Every structure is written in structure tokens, then in C-alpha cells.
Amino acid sequence: MTAPAPPSQPPVDPELLAFAQQVFDLARRGDASMLAAVIEKGVPPNLRNDKGDSLVMLASYHGHVDAVRTLLERGADPNLRNDNGQTPIAGAAFKGFDKVIKTLLAHGADVEGASPDGRTALMVAAMFNRTAIVDLLLAHGANPQARDVNGVSAADAAARMGASDAEARLKEPGS
């Protein structure tokens, strides 16, 4: 006896795909008013692209605080990970967007939300010597002692990347 064939997926309408791409572009460009309009017309606020990037992830990664706020106020999940397990707060930490991080945190983003390999936003900020972001995340409760699956802490990650300012900050008493 053979297993039944999996149900086939109906073909996706090319016009629908083109529209979805336009919505993702709105997030990348930070067009908060148009994002609000399309969500009010029924586009899901947690719409994700083929890489699992949500609208919030795209807006966060590109530094568009107004678009991030607009999406979060309309029900978008600040902790929705992409297919690589990355969170919007980690994307904003990588790019150094403090206002985006503050907005995400104000709307419930998990400051400790780690990717599958255990890497946190603090580790990402430390690796790229983003000391202002390191300070911001620490002030919001990020654990400087957290370690990824390889046992690497934020200070260790900074040291490996030659991010000496972040490494020093993380090794200060009270960090």
C-alpha cells in the first residue's frame, strides 16, 4: 500500500504575487501611510516573503521607525522570525537603528529573543561594535552573560570581530 499523494497546491495568481511584492517594497521604503492603507484593506500585518521576512523585519532592517510603528500598531508581531531564525530587533541591532529598537521594545519585542544558534541582538550589536545599541539593549535587560550554542558571549563575539569598544563596554563592572 502506498501513501496518498500530498494535496496539490493551487497555482498562485501572478497578479497577487506582484501585489505582495509591492507591499514588501512599501516596508523596505518605509511608506508608513501606504502600509496602513493596505493593512486596513485586508493585507495581513504579518505578511512574509519567500525568505520568511515579515513586513516588520523589512522595515526594521531598513531603519524605518514610522513604518515599524505603523505595522506594530496594526497587530504585527515584533518577534516574528524569518526562515534563518532572525528577529526584527537583531536586524535593527545589526544595522544600528536605535529608534527602531526602542519602538520594537515598546511594542513587546523580546530583548533576549535568540536565533536558533543562540545569537541574541546584543551579540549582533557587539560583533559590529555598535556600542550605543549595546548600551540600549543592556538598559532594557539584555543578558551580557548569555551564550550561543558554541558558548560564545557578546563580549567574546565582539573580541572575535575586533570590536574593541563593544568588548570593553561588555567587560565593564555591572555589565
Can you tell me the mean pLDDT for 14-35? 94
The CATH number of the domain holding residue 119 is 1.25.40.20
Same domain, 104 and 124: no
Cα distances (Å, whole numbers) of residue 23 to 39, 63, 95, 168: 10, 17, 22, 42
Cα distances (Å, whole numbers) of residue 8 to 3, 5, 12, 20, 49: 14, 8, 12, 22, 21
Same domain, 98 and 41: yes
Same domain, 80 and 125: no
**Can you give the C-alpha Rg of the chain in angstroms?**
18
Question: Which of 11-20, 28-37, 133-142 shows the lowest per-residue confidence on average (mean pLDDT)?
Answer: 11-20
Question: Residue 129: its pLDDT value, please?
Answer: 98
Q: What angle do CA 64, 67, 69 make, to 5 degrees?
A: 105
Same domain, 24 and 106: yes
Any domain includes 42: yes
Strand partners, 54: 48
Same domain, 139 and 84: no
Can you tell me the mean pLDDT for 29-45? 97
Total domains in the chain come to 2
pTM for this model (two decimals): 0.90
Residue 158 pLDDT level (bands cut at 50, 70, 90): very high
pLDDT tens, position by position, 43-82: 999 999 999 999 999 999 999 999 999 999 999 999 999 9
Same domain, 96 and 119: no
Same domain, 53 and 89: yes
Distance CA 32, CA 34 (A): 6
Closest CA to 84 of 117, 46, 127, 45: 117
**Domain hosting residue 84, numbered range:** 13-110
Is the model's pLDDT at 1 over the cut of 60? no
Strand partners, 48: 54
Q: For residue 104, give the H/E element and its range.
A: helix 98-106
Question: Residue 7: its pLDDT value, please?
Answer: 66
Question: Residue 5: its pLDDT value, please?
Answer: 57
Half-sphere exposure of 10 (CA within 13 A, CB side): 3
Question: Residue 2: its pLDDT value, please?
Answer: 58
Cα distances (Å, whole numbers) of residue 64 to 59, 114, 150: 5, 22, 33
Contacts of 139 (CB under 8 A, 6+ apart): none
